[in-house]
Chains A and B, each alone.
Chain A
Amino acid sequence: EAQVTQNPRYLITVTGKKLTVTCSQNMNHEYMSWYRQDPGLGLRQIYYSMNVEVTDKGDVPEGYKVSRKEKRNFPLILESPSPNQTSLYFCASRPSAFEGGRGQYFGPGTRLTVT
């Protein structure tokens, strides 16, 4: 089954404690992306990657890091989380040229709370 998986699904942590949210896709997609969703603000893109070792900043990259060492994985790293990073995070992937008229596949989301 084609899917994007994220772990953990729920995370409560404290300010300053480094954390990593993993994302993996099994569709051999070139493009992967991270978003955060906040009430009233919709989804905002954090980082995206066009392929292995190629990453770019989205709309709200401050306080986040990513890496793309393998095509299937695209972890999101918060090196020093702060309360304003409390949010619902989504990972997504898609084929590079929107083959088949298909948009992005989204993971189930990670709800992060930073106290």
Chain B
Amino acid sequence: SQQGEEDPQALSIQEGENATMNCSYKTSINNLQWYRQNSGRGLVHLILIRSNEREKHSGRLRVTLDTSKKSSSLLITASRAADTASYFCATHHTGNQFYFGTGTSLTVIP
């Protein structure tokens, strides 16, 4: 399977702290995307980074991509209770298949 893996599986932090989660994948990609999912609901796209990009920002989100290590990280700064959710990375490969990781469950304690 080309499925990615997120690390850690679960993360618990205090409100105001930064949260970092990592994603590793196995084969070359066209782009990598991060999604958020609140319990049992649909996924919401957060940010997309293309294979020729190394870093992207969107509000409190910062994503990095290291294609040599086949890894990406998502940083959420100044976390809020509303950021509590599961976060997934998804890789887009030639052939238009998508592979999702197993997710990081983030809990932000008020």
Per DSSP, chain A at the interface is: strand
A112 to B88, CA, bound (A): 22
A88→B103 CA distance, assembly (Å): 15
CB nearest neighbor in A for B42: A106
Contacts of A98 in B (CB 8 A): 31, 48, 92
Interface pair A42/B48, CB less than 8 Å apart:
no
Q: Contact: B102 with A106, CB < 8 Å?
A: no
**Is the CB–CB distance between A105 and B96 below 8 Å?**
no
Contact B40 A105 (CB under 8 A): no
Q: Mark A21-48, 1 if CB is under 8 A from B, else 0.
A: 0000000000101010000111111001
Q: Are A88 and B40 in contact (CB under 8 A)?
A: yes
Q: Is the CB of A42 within 8 A of B100?
A: yes
B residues contacting A by CB (< 8 A) are: 1, 3, 31, 33, 35, 40-45, 47-48, 88, 90, 92, 95-103
